[in-house]
């Protein structure tokens, strides 16, 4: 090969979030289905921490009244409640979007119009369910 280029071209890369390295311009226009995909992973990771809090609940309950009182005072504090509110949003978002994924796995709702509409339903469900549950918690003396 005599006409080989002198400088090596950048190898082609598969489409990803960014045009170059971290912080470079985004390759994609932001879209609602992109948000739902990213948030499904983000809420899943947050719920990982939430499950460890649930494990701490079980362990302190088995530990006796003092340990359990300590757990309850941490979770009942303002930062504890902020975490629980965030986890409530994550639970309902991940639940609704998980059902959306299961519907997709059955081969339904995969067209763009349906995917956009179901994304809105997921956001609406997460917001309404979270407010409803915290309202119920307030009325039953859980706060």
Partner 1 sequence: MVSYRTPLGRARGLGSAKDGVGHWIGQRVSAVALAPLVLWMVYGVIRLAAGDYGFAVHWVQDPLNATLTVLTLAIAFFHMRTGMQVVIEDYVDEALGKSVLLILNLFVCGLAGALAIFSILKVAFGGVVGGA
Q: Which residues contribute to the site for partner 1 (CB under 8 A)? A: 41, 44-45, 47-48, 51-52, 54-55, 57-59, 61-65, 68-69, 72, 75-76, 88, 91, 95, 98-99, 101-102, 105, 133, 136-137, 140-143
N-terminal to C-terminal alpha carbon distance within the chain:
76
Pick the closest to residue 143 from 34, 87, 134 (CA basis).
134
- Between residues 32 and 103, which has the closer beta carbon with respect to partner 1? 103
Min dist CB 67 to partner 1, Å, is 9
The residue (of 26 and 69) whose beta carbon lies closer to partner 1 is: 69
CB atoms within 10 A of CB 65: 9
Minimum CB distance to partner 1 smaller for 62 or for 78? 62
**Nearest approach, Cβ of 86 to partner 1 (angstroms)?**
14
Round to whole Å and give the CA distance between 47 and 88.
Answer: 9
Closest CA to 88 of 143, 36, 139, 33: 143
- Nearest distance in Å: CB 120, partner 1: 20
Nearest to 36 by CA among 127, 135, 115: 115
Name the minimum Å distance from CB 57 to partner 1: 8
Residue pair 39/93 in contact by the 8 Å Cβ criterion: yes
Closest CB 6 distance from partner 1, rounded Å: 30
CB closer to partner 1 out of 68 and 123? 68
């Amino acid at each position: 090969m005599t006409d080989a280029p002198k400088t090596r071209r950048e190898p082609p890369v598969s489409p990803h979030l960014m045009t170059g390295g971290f912080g470079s311009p985004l390759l994609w226009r932001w879209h609602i289905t992109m948000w739902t995909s990213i948030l499904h992973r983000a809420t899943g990771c947050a719920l990982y921490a939430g499950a460890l809090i649930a494990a701490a609940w079980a362990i302190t309950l088995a530990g006796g009244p003092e340990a359990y009182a300590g757990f309850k005072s941490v979770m009942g504090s303002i930062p504890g409640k902020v975490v629980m509110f965030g986890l409530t949003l994550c639970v309902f978002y991940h639940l609704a979007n998980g059902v959306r994924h299961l519907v997709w796995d059955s081969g339904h709702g995969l067209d763009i119009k349906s995917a956009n509409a179901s994304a809105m339903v997921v956001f609406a469900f997460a917001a309404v369910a979270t407010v409803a549950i915290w309202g119920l918690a307030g009325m039953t003396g859980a706060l």
